[in-house]
A and B are shown apart, each in its own frame.
Chain A
Amino acid sequence: MSSLSWRTFYLTGYTGLDDAAAVWDRYISEAADFEATLIDGIPVLKEGAADQARDDFDGETADLVRGQARHIAERFLDDLDAYASHIKVLLQEAKTDFETKRDELAGLFAEKSVYLTAEGEPGEERFEVNESDLYNYLTGSGTVEPMNEYEADAYEQRVREQAVDLSDRFKTLMDSVRELDDQYAADFKALNDDPPPLPPYVGSDFEAKTAEYLQEQHQDFLDKIESGDAIPEEVNDWWNSLAEGDQELFVHELPELVGPVDGIPTEDRDTANRILLDQEIADFSPTLDEDIAVIEDRIAEIEGNWSEIVANGDSIDRAEELEQLREELARLQGERVTYNELVDLQSAIAEESPTGQQYYLLGYDSAGDGKAIVSVGNPDTADNTVVYVPGTGGDLDGAGGNDLQRAETMAGDAAQVAGSGETAVMVWLDYDAPNNPIMNSPSLSYAEDASEPLASFMSGLDATNHDPEETTTTVIGHSYGTTVIGQAASEYGLDTDQIVAVASPGMTVDHASELGIDPDDFYSTTAPGDLINAAAEATLILGSDPNDGGLNIQGGGLDSGFGGTSFDSDNMGWSPVDIHSNYWDDGNPARKNMAMIFTGNGDQVT
């Protein structure tokens, strides 16, 4: 607590605070060049240099060294702003505040009668009447003429009343000065409360510790991403604001913060997701098959000896053991299935695709049926991007199998269109697709849950695309995938130029104009023999039939239909169930039509 006396306060000069602030100001100005001195002034520390300096010191360690120099420089400059500048500002403010208070005190002294004297220790400040001088004045001692009794009484009363009044103000003022003093003491003390850590020293898990340091530096934005409050465009801006070395650290040391995030460029997401995939596969027990075999043998043993077990009166214990073994077996077999699916996915994207394009893993999740987003070609650099949303039965297995083959087919077909450039086709299975066409597919809940992730993904593609204005973007769904697209487009809007519905049971809307795009950019097809025709016409839950060309007579008049353009597709078979999946078969005219749409030639579909 401040015990500042009024005498010290009044007699102290405060310009020194300004002088000190000026010292700090000069220091801060000179120190602000620190980064330029350290990084730009020392060639081998300069990041991104493609010149002699990089040749002089190259490799991953050299990159880490450069990153460390930059982290030190950035931390120093942040410190300069947070602490040194704060000290300077506090000094300036203290000078102003103390001088203002002192001026107030000076005003009080100027206001007081000459027969009042300031007295008192801290907390007891008051003005006392100088009795002898006042008496002399009132009685006319010396050179002063005496007052009459009435005037003298009135004058004396005024002086004594002022003493009381000003004493209150005096004490109040000094109390506020001491509060000010305490406040500045607290402010200076608070300066170094919980300062942010400096980068780690070189050595002892330096790379991992640097990644942790980096994560802490960006925790606020990472929390924003985690909570879903950061839109992909913001994510992309944030990512691009990072130095290349820091991006590398995020990708390699913190892949879980990179792989699934919409708005981060495809190359980086792919690298991060492949690291995660490799790690997850490596984490499976190497003795999984043996463990399964041991349990199967034990089950077989119990089951084989069941008569004997019953005869020995051991059936209750063995039955219990059998139940536990079967549960454990089911769990391990589930693990085995997941392991196989992950290995299949890893294998499917290991090499170049048949189209000659690279695969990119934009996300995956092994939980439940599994989810995955795999791209044939890099959507950030392609001339055309296509997002394919599979329908009922879509899972991790399909994302690396059948659905991926369809994506390859579509990419290959698009490449056949003259002058089309590169078309990147993604399998988007970042949703829990219905498993059973009878039990699950009529439900909207799967589409509702998928809407936000799909909308976010499309925004992310738009954010990372090299030239979104010139790139033709299409979202294509098959079967229930079209319902997902319709729900997402109508609920959130999709960053896409075109929407294509293949064998749609309904898109949750009654007209293409409700999909947030020009109806002329909506295309649909369903083969004549596809069983989905019955569902599309029968179900009201999933919306109107997207193939409704407007020729239906309803209520005695013509309606406008769903809108958009229907294109041809053949049955390519006899079974209505098989026809539902034949759209990507060789020879199906749907393929050429889709290729024309994807490459911006939708006016040429048949």
Chain B
Amino acid sequence: MSDRMVIDHQAVSEAVEQIETVAEDLDAAAVAVNADAADAVTAIPIGEFAFRPALNAAESWWYSRIVDHRNHLIDLAQFMATNAAVAAQHDQDSESDLVELGEELQVDVDEYTTSDYYETTGAERPDYNPAALPTDGKSVAVE
């Protein structure tokens, strides 16, 4: 891909945190809308009306879609964090934080895997959680 990436690892790390916050807010809002909307229709018996289980399914699907969006954001954030970590490792100038990563140093956008993130940043791998996996059948590149 590119032979040059200029990166201020401090600024990008802050962006990573912000993206992760956006992702979690997105998730939390979807959880809340599902719960509140479900509470609102409790007076309509689910076993009697045919549309009720379909409504539930639609709302559940929406949540799964949001999980996919969230995972995309996390994936993007982790990729940025990976390169920020590489940049931090090669930062020779403590004043500017600005590092230029040549082709040989940066983690290529076409070859990145989540293993790169965990190995480069030292982040702890989460326990296996099927709910957190992408649901559209297009998984991140497996390590």
Contact = CB atoms under 8 A, between A and B. Distances in A.
B123 to A, nearest CB: 16
A13 B44 CA distance: 7
Interface stretch (A72-80, A99-107, A435-443): A72-80
B132 interface: no
If over half of A's interface residues share one DSSP class (helix, strand or loop), that class is named, otherwise mixed; here it is helix
Nearest to A198: B68
A179 B73 CA distance: 41
A253 to B, nearest CB: 12
A27 B33 contact: yes
B43 A13 contact: yes
Interface string B97-110: 01000000010111
A182 B50 contact: yes
Contacts of A37: 22
A503 B139 CA distance: 65
Contacts of A152: none
B76 A69 contact: yes
Given A38-B22, A200-B138, A1 B72 contact: no
Contacts of A31: 26, 29
A1 B50 contact: yes
Interface string B21-51: 0100010010011001110111111001111
B7 interface: yes
A192 B139 CA distance: 19
A2 B11 CA distance: 57
B106 A30 contact: no
B72 A199 contact: yes
Interface string A72-95: 100110010001100100110010
Contacts of B98: 55-56
Contacts of B139: 201
A329 interface: no
A24 B29 CA distance: 10
A337 interface: no
Contacts of A58: 5-7
Interface in A3-32: 3-5, 8, 12-14, 16-17, 19-20, 22-24, 27, 30-31
B1 A188 contact: no
Nearest to A87: B58
B70 to A, nearest CB: 10
A566 B71 CA distance: 70
Contact of B58 (A4, A182, A189, A205): A189
Contacts of A19: 40-41
A75 B18 contact: no
Given A58-B6, A59-B6, A68-B76, A41 B18 contact: yes
Nearest to A54: B6
A197 B138 contact: yes
Contacts of B112: 202-203, 206
A3 B53 CA distance: 13
A44 B69 CA distance: 20
B66 to A, nearest CB: 8
B110 A207 contact: yes
A493 B108 CA distance: 50
Given A68-B76, A184-B54, A202-B75, A17 B6 contact: no
A42 B76 contact: no
A347 interface: no
Contacts of A13: 43-44
B2 to A, nearest CB: 4
User: Residue among A1, A3, A31, A202 with the most chain B CB within 10 A?
Assistant: A202
B14 to A, nearest CB: 8
B19 A42 contact: yes
A426 B27 CA distance: 55
Contacts of A61: 1-2, 5, 83, 106, 108-109
29 contacts: A3-B48, A4-B50, A8-B48, A12-B45, A16-B44, A17-B44, A20-B37, A20-B41, A27-B33, A30-B29, A42-B22, A45-B19, A53-B11, A56-B8, A57-B7, A57-B80, A58-B5, A61-B5, A61-B108, A62-B5, A72-B76, A182-B50, A184-B55, A185-B54, A192-B61, A195-B65, A198-B72, A203-B110, A203-B111
Given A2-B49, A68-B76, A203-B110, 11 more contacts: A4-B49, A16-B40, A22-B40, A57-B11, A60-B4, A61-B5, A62-B5, A72-B69, A72-B76, A87-B58, A204-B141
Name the 3 nearest CB pairs between A and B, nearest first. Answer: A60-B2, A188-B54, A184-B51
Interface of B: 1-2, 4-8, 11-12, 15, 18-19, 22, 26, 29, 32-33, 36-38, 40-45, 48-51, 53-55, 57-59, 61-62, 65, 68-69, 71-73, 75-76, 79-80, 83, 98, 106, 108-113, 134, 136, 138-141
